[in-house]
Amino acid sequence: MPTKTTCPSSQVSDDEQKQKRENTRSLTMSGHVGFESLPDQLVNRSIQQGFCFNILCVGETGIGKSTLIDTLFNTNFADHESSHFFPHVRLKAQTYELHESNVRLKLTIVNTVGFGDQINKEESYQPVVDYIDAQFEAYLQEELKIKRSLFNYHDSRIHVCLYFISPTGHSLKTLDLLTMKSLDSKVNIIPVIAKADIISKAELQKFKIKLMSELVSSGVQIYQFPTDDETIAKINASMNGHLPFAVVGSMDEVKIGNKMVKARQYPWGVVQVENENHSDFVKLREMLICTNMEDLREQTHTRHYELYRRCKLEEMGFTDVGPENKPLSLQETYEAKRHEFYGERQRKEEEMKQMFVQRVKEKEAILKEAERELQAKFEHLKRVHQEERMKLEEKRRLLEEEIIAFSKKKATSEIYQNQSYMASGSNLKKDKDRKKISNAQVLEGGSKRASESMRAGSLVYRAQLEGESRRARESLRAGSLSYRAHPLPQH
Ligand code: GDP
């Protein structure tokens, strides 16, 4: 693809150019050498390679985009009718290979599907902007590759945007202004008034003037046909005055006189697509395809792509001049950038280290505080436990004393109780006395032992006592019965 790779004008200063011109001497040759065939060589090479051209059609669904493209290239691209109910705008690209004489054209038509059908208008134009940027980005990536193949690369950058305006006769819609404003620095915009056959000639003229003044007042830059080439300057200048073109599209053919022409037939007459009194279709075709296709391609590369590339590289930190406006080579910029990056990385590492140390210190202080609190709590509990233990020891001692006193009292009371039974029987009494005395001795001895064994001893003793007293009562009852049976003789 014969793309010009000129440097951005900012790179080479006017002074440098002047100096170069002064260093170059103009000479005449005494005979034919042959480099006059260079343009032919270029043409041949280009024809061999073929050309590529990419058109973006932006406009509401049903405005006549597909019909116009079919009419422009005089073929049926068989684009399906689009629905109005897509939730998002989608860009549909289709590439075709066309031949005319011995020239091959790789034509890509990109259509905006669902444009203007959403309530949120921002969602309508943003995908278009993103698509154009994506094509620039793909080209830039190919350019930046070590092993690049731009020679046979399929360039998908958009060369022209045909912007379809509704033939309302009023003014531009907000969406149209917003979209064109966000696209004008990225692509060559050619505005067209679609379906121009549905607006009267007088209204159309007024509408054109109004549209142009709205575009100018909104600061929208549309594509201007170039006037720097003498051969086409006149026609291009006059065509610039006809913008925006009012077009009619149709693939239907109607017989006019003895000729079949593309037209739209109505009950009241025929609108001929190629009749300049009926529409600007021919002007558009001439300007777009015959006269300015190469300029559109060149403008895309040298203006729009260069701007994208410059912004992108600057974003990445590359620059042509260093501090004090000194020119910087790519290598120097790279080294400076690398240096800056390492410095930044070291600074960040240092920052992170300091932050880590600070965090550790903070954590340590928190842990130490927690440990101190725990220790204090432990000491407190230990003290409380000690006091509790001493209190319990005291209680135990008192209880043991009480038990001893109680046991003594009990033993004495048992002795008194036994003495009262002595009258009941001497044998029994002697026995009992002995037992009680021994029991009392046992109790007395036992009271000096631990409280538990004392209590156990006293229980055993009480059981024994009860046994004895029961036996005593029974023998008493038996004695009284025998006395009743054999009473002593009364004197
Ligand atoms: P797209 O959705 O924008 O691609 O619109 P189409 O090209 O599919 O056209 C939608 C309808 O508009 C079809 O019925 C076409 O016949 C009709 N149409 C296309 N161009 C014109 C035109 O210039 N004038 C009029 N009146 N109708 C047109």
Give the integer Cα–Cα distance in Å for 224 and 239: 9
Is residue 82 in contact with ligand 1, taking CB distance under 6 Å?
yes
Counting beta carbons within 10 angstroms of the beta carbon of residue 363, is it exposed (0 to 12), middle (13 to 18) or buried (19 or more)?
A: exposed
Please determine, for residue 3, whether its predicted confidence score (pLDDT) is greater than 50: no
pLDDT given for residue 461 in this prediction: 57
How many C-beta neighbours within 10 Å does residue 233 have?
Answer: 13
Describe the strand order of the beta sheet including 259-266 as a list of residue ranges. Answer: 253-256, 259-266, 269-272
Position 56 pLDDT exceeds 70: yes
For residue 79, the model assigns a pLDDT of 64
Cβ of 279 below 6 Å from ligand 1: no
| 469 part of a folded domain | no
Q: What is the pLDDT of residues 224-243, one digit of tens each?
A: 999 988 888 889 999 999 88
- The pLDDT assigned to 444 comes to 59
Which residue's C-alpha comes closest to atom 2 of ligand 1? 62
Regarding whether 60 and 97 lie in a shared domain, the answer is yes
146, 268: one domain: yes
Considering the domain architecture, whether residues 196 and 269 belong to the same structural domain is answered as yes
pLDDT (tens digit, 9 = 90+) per residue, 77-107?
766 666 655 667 788 899 999 998 889 999 9
59 CA: nearest ligand 1 atom: 3
Strands (E) across 205-286 are located at: 245-246, 253-256, 259-266, 269-272
In whole angstroms, what is the distance from residue 264 CA to residue 279 CA? 12
Q: Per-residue confidence at 453, pLDDT binned at 50, 70, 90?
A: low
Tell me how far the alpha carbon of residue 124 lies from the centroid of ligand 1, in angstroms: 20
Q: Considering the domain boundaries, does residue 491 fall inside one?
A: no
Whether 218 has a pLDDT exceeding 80, the answer reads yes
Distances (CA, A) of 371 to 85, 359, 367: 69, 18, 6
User: Does residue 365 surpass a pLDDT of 90?
Assistant: yes
Q: Distance from the CA of 267 to the center of ligand 1, in angstroms?
A: 18
133 and 89: one domain? yes
Give the chain's domain count: 2
Averaging pLDDT over each range in 138-147, 306-315, 366-375, which range is the top one? 366-375
Contact call for residues 478 and 427 (beta carbons, < 8 A): no
Q: Which atom of ligand 1 is nearest to the CA of 250?
A: 20
At residue 302, does pLDDT exceed 90? yes
Cβ of 198 less than 6 Å from ligand 1: yes
For 439-448, the pLDDT digits (tens) are 666 555 655 6
240-279 pLDDT, tens digit per residue, is: 998 899 999 998 888 888 888 889 988 888 899 888 888 9
Atom of ligand 1 nearest to the CA of 61: 2
Give Dmax over CA atoms of the chain in angstroms: 202
115 CA distance to ligand 1 middle (Å): 15
Question: How confident is the model over 392-410, as pLDDT tens digits?
Answer: 999 999 999 999 999 999 9
* 159 C-beta closer than 6 A to ligand 1: no
Q: What Cα–Cα distance (Å) separates residue 188 from each residue in 62, 92, 140, 224, 304?
A: 23, 19, 19, 9, 8
Mean pLDDT of the chain, nearest integer: 84
The verdict on 201 and 350 lying in the same domain is no
Q: Which residue has the higher pLDDT, 388 or 4?
A: 388
**Which of these ranges, 42-46, 261-265, 328-332, has the smallest mean pLDDT?**
328-332
pLDDT given for residue 490 in this prediction: 47
Which tens digit of pLDDT belongs to each residue from 464-475? 667 766 775 676
298 and 402 assigned to the same domain: no
Task: For residue 185, give the 3-state DSSP assignment.
Answer: coil
**DSSP letters along 366-422, please?**
HHHHHHHHHHHHHHHHHHHHHHHHHHHHHHHHHHHHHHHHHHHHHHHHHHHHHHHHG
Q: Are 283 and 239 in contact (CB under 8 A)?
A: yes
Helices and strands in the chain, H and E counts: 13, 9
Task: Based on the fold, state whether residues 67 and 204 are members of the same structural domain.
Answer: yes
| Ligand 1 closest atom vs CA 70 | 7
Task: Tell me which of 423, 451, 478 is where a domain ends.
Answer: 423
The shares of helix, strand and coil residues in the chain, as percent rounded to the nearest 5, are: 60, 10, 30
- HSE at residue 444, side-chain half, CA atoms within 13 A, is 11
**Are 89 and 222 in a shared domain?**
yes
Mean pLDDT of 361-378: 96
Atom of ligand 1 nearest to the CA of 249: 23
Rounded CA gap, 70 and 250, in Å? Answer: 8
Ligand 1 mutation pick, 60, 67, 72, max ligand atoms within 8 A of CB: 67
Q: Which comes out higher in pLDDT, residue 365 or 120?
A: 365
Q: Is this prediction's pTM over 0.75?
A: no
Task: Find out whether the beta carbon of 67 lies less than 6 Å from any atom of ligand 1.
Answer: yes
Q: Are residues 301 and 185 in the same domain?
A: yes
Q: Which of 381, 400, 423 is the last residue of a domain?
A: 423
Q: Which helix (H) or strand (E) element contains residue 48? A: helix 38-49
Strand partners, 15: none
Ligand 1 neighbour 64 (Cβ under 6 A): yes
Q: Of 260, 281, 316, which one is at a domain's C-terminal end?
A: 316
Q: Is 433 exposed, middle or buried (0-12, 13-18, 19+ CB in 10 A)?
A: middle
Q: Cα separation of 79 and 85, whole Å?
A: 17
C-alpha–C-alpha distance, residues 91 and 127, integer Å: 8
Give me the domain span that covers residue 230. Answer: 43-316
Distance separating alpha carbons of residues 125 and 19, to the nearest angstrom: 47
Whether residue 360 lies inside any domain: the answer is: yes
Does 291 lie in the same domain as 189? yes
The tokens for 294 are 């190469």
CB of 284 closer than 6 angstroms to any ligand 1 atom:
no
Phi first, then psi: give them for residue 165, nearest 5 degrees: -105, 135
Q: Is the CB of 81 under 6 A from ligand 1?
A: yes
Question: What pLDDT is recorded for position 27?
Answer: 86
Label residue 22 by pLDDT band (50, 70, 90).
confident
Of 37-51, 314-328, 339-353, 398-412, the one with minimum mean pLDDT is 314-328
Helix (H) or strand (E) holding 46, with range, is helix 38-49
What is the side-by-side strand order in the sheet with 103-113? 90-100, 103-113, 51-58, 160-165, 189-193, 245-246
DSSP class of residue 12 equals S
Report pLDDT for 8.
45
428 versus 354: the higher-pLDDT residue is: 354
E-strand ranges in 257-337 read 259-266, 269-272
| CA dihedral for 63, 67, 70, 72, sign (positive or negative) | negative
Do 278 and 199 share a structural domain?
yes
Q: Are residues 249 and 123 in the same domain?
A: yes
Tell me how far the alpha carbon of residue 348 is from its chain's centroid: 25
Q: How confident is the model at residue 141 (pLDDT cuts 50, 70, 90)?
A: very high
Q: Is 272 in the pocket of ligand 1 (CB under 6 A)?
A: no
Give the atom of ligand 1 at the shortest distance from the alpha carbon of 164.
Answer: 3
Are 191 and 244 a contacting pair, CB within 8 Å? yes
Banded pLDDT at 369 (limits 50, 70, 90)? very high
Residue 420 has pLDDT above 60, yes or no: yes
Residue 485 lies in a domain: no
